[in-house]
Amino acid sequence: MTAPTEGVGTGSLELSPERMLELADLASRLVVERLSALDGEPAWRGGSRSDLEALLREAAPEEGRPAEDVIRRAAHEILPVAGRVDHPRFFAFVPSSPTWPGVLADYMAAGHNIFQGTWLGGAGPSQLELVVLDWFRDWIGYPDTAGGLFTSGGSAASLDAFVAAREHAGAPDRATVYMSDQSHTALIRAATIVGIRPAHVRMVPTDGHFRLDTAELGRMVEEDRRAGFTPVAVCANAGATNTGAVDPIDAVADFCEEHDIWLHVDAAYGGFAVLTEKGKAVLRGMERADSIAMDAHKWLFQPFETGCLMVKDVRRLESAFTVHPEYLQDTRWGTEHPNFGDRGLQLSRSFRALKVWMSIQTFGVAAFREAIAKGIDLAYQAEGYVRASEVLQIANPASLGVVCFRVHPKGSDLDEGSLERINEVVQARVIETGIAMMSSTRLRGLYSLRLCILNHNTDWEDVERTLAAIERFGEDEIARSSG
Ligand SMILES: *Cc1c(COP(=O)(O)O)cnc(C)c1O
């Protein structure tokens, strides 16, 4: 015998209940320790391929090792070398800050290894998924006919939506899809996967605030129809990733109704703002869409892979996806007992709805509403700070938790090249110094810094500290470049 291996018998994959509890306790303690220390840690830790190769490369061990060592290695060597997407000063891309009941739900669902593809496979979980989706339906203001499913995320949700839209349009050969030049590239990818030629994904120009230009949309659709194309879907942003822009959803819905085209709203990060008063006003008209993608792993504070697709008439989703293999004949229990595997791409699915349910049951909707409202307000406050600054300039006003700006002193005559270089240096310093994690983007080609403020643990102090550091680094850099 070599090293001691786990397992109750030789070659066994089983652990005794005592060992299971010991290991679960260790894993839990390590996760909670991380969360408790997070605020004092940098918001991001990267690693080069060569360093990580040296640390982690090995052949799969033939013999097992003590499980504590394995768990500690995961907690110390692997998991921390990553973006801390849930850090209160992680403002890059789209942050995700899960609530603890959501994390535990993932663990419990895995522990029960729920198969959430058929009613037969998971009756309780299927009923719960229906219940949680009906909560979303009510929040959106969708009718009783609406339903949907949990997905891995917005990418999968838009993919499923496009399949339903394409089938609704009669699966035409020369299909086109429309989205704004600010739409997430996941939508382009989803459209091409469902068979829309890349050249037939039409990018509609946007206005001064990055909102889809409906007149342009009308012109493009008309031109395409005359040329023999069949428009199968129009996508509207309800929180574009770049700027938080919300397209004129009501006007786009009018257009789609008039021209009988499927309206898909990409509300992947912004959708749950509908729970708040301000968000509801901004997202007005969303309930008119044929389908809506919303990621609970973004602004509903769940761990990753908690996306969702809602469809106004769920039968359209089911008619697009339902299949009848003979080996699943036992699973047909009739429409009262939906099989979630018949609403989208995945058959073997995990039980994602439990995360939302346990979180909402634990804290109540009011706490979530407040947490989302805080993000919206912090972004407005950040905009106010930028506007009052001598060094910073707004690139696009705050919208749904996102604000874009850059270092550009009032009255300065720095050319675009210098401004870009200064802003790149500032962004790099904010990250290097560990003050915050922040990403950049381009707005109409111009380099812009961007804060996405969605974390329920983020306070004004976190935002202010970050903005003050940006100002300070900006001043340093300007002095250096003119000195
Ligand atoms: C995050 C996001 C997506 C992609 O969703 P995933 O969950 O990453 O698959 C699409 N659109 C918008 C607006 C997003 O914010």
Angstrom distances, CA of residue 238 to CA of 113, 266, 283, 409: 34, 6, 7, 32
Strand pairing partners for 393?
Answer: 406
- Best of 152, 160, 295, 453 for a ligand 1 pocket test (most atoms within 8 Å of beta carbon): 295
User: Quick check: 395 and 448 in contact, CB under 8 A?
Assistant: yes
Structure tokens at 131: 């219940």
Mean pLDDT of 398-407: 98
- Best of 184, 211, 291, 292 for a ligand 1 pocket test (most atoms within 8 Å of beta carbon): 184
Closest CA to 344 of 303, 307, 391, 389: 307
Could you tell me if the CB of 184 is within 6 A of ligand 1? yes
pLDDT, tens only, 74-125? 999 999 999 999 999 999 999 999 999 999 999 999 999 999 999 999 999 9
DSSP string, 210-249: S-B-HHHHHHHHHHHHHTT-EEEEEEEEBS-TTT--B--H
Which band of pLDDT confidence, cut at 50, 70 and 90, is reported for residue 2? very low
Distance between CA 16 and CA 69 in Å, rounded?
Answer: 18
Helix (H) or strand (E) holding 480: helix 460-482
- Mean pLDDT score across all residues of the chain: 96
Distance between CA 243 and CA 191 in Å, rounded?
Answer: 22
Could you tell me if the CB of 154 is within 6 A of ligand 1? yes
User: Quick check: 335 and 342 in contact, CB under 8 A?
Assistant: no
Could you tell me if the CB of 436 is within 6 A of ligand 1? no
Question: Helix H segments across 292-364?
Answer: 296-299, 314-321, 353-363
Distance between CA 322 and CA 30 in Å, rounded?
Answer: 43
Distance between CA 188 and CA 169 in Å, rounded?
Answer: 18
Question: Helix H segments across 84-153?
Answer: 100-112, 123-140
Instruction: From the CA of 304, give the closest atom in ligand 1.
Output: 7
User: Quick check: 378 and 458 in contact, CB under 8 A?
Assistant: yes
pLDDT, tens only, 203-232? 999 999 999 999 999 999 999 999 999 999
Is pTM, for the whole model, over 0.95? yes
Strand 147-151 versus strand 175-180 pairing type = unpaired
Strand 291-295 versus strand 262-266 pairing type = parallel
Report the pLDDT value the prediction gives residue 1, as an integer from 0 to 100: 38
User: Quick check: 442 and 210 in contact, CB under 8 A?
Assistant: no
Calculate how far, in angstroms, residue 46's C-alpha sits from the geometric centre of ligand 1. Answer: 22
Could you tell me if the CB of 399 is within 6 A of ligand 1? no
Distance between CA 44 and CA 221 in Å, rounded?
Answer: 44
Which amino acid type is present at position 233?
A
Question: Does 272 score more than 50 pLDDT?
Answer: yes
Could you tell me if the CB of 186 is within 6 A of ligand 1? yes
Structure tokens at 141: 């203001």
Per the listing, tokens 């070659």 go with 11
pLDDT, tens only, 24-77? 999 999 999 999 999 999 999 999 999 999 999 999 999 999 999 999 999 999
Distance of CA 358 to the CA centre of its chain: 20
Calculate how far, in angstroms, residue 184's C-alpha sits from the geometric centre of ligand 1. Answer: 7
Distance between CA 437 and CA 414 in Å, rounded?
Answer: 26
Calculate how far, in angstroms, residue 268's C-alpha sits from the geometric centre of ligand 1. Answer: 5
pLDDT, tens only, 286-327? 999 999 999 999 999 999 999 999 999 999 999 999 999 999
Q: Is 377 exposed, middle or buried (0-12, 13-18, 19+ CB in 10 A)?
A: middle
Could you tell me if the CB of 92 is within 6 A of ligand 1? no
Closest CA to 86 of 261, 263, 301: 301
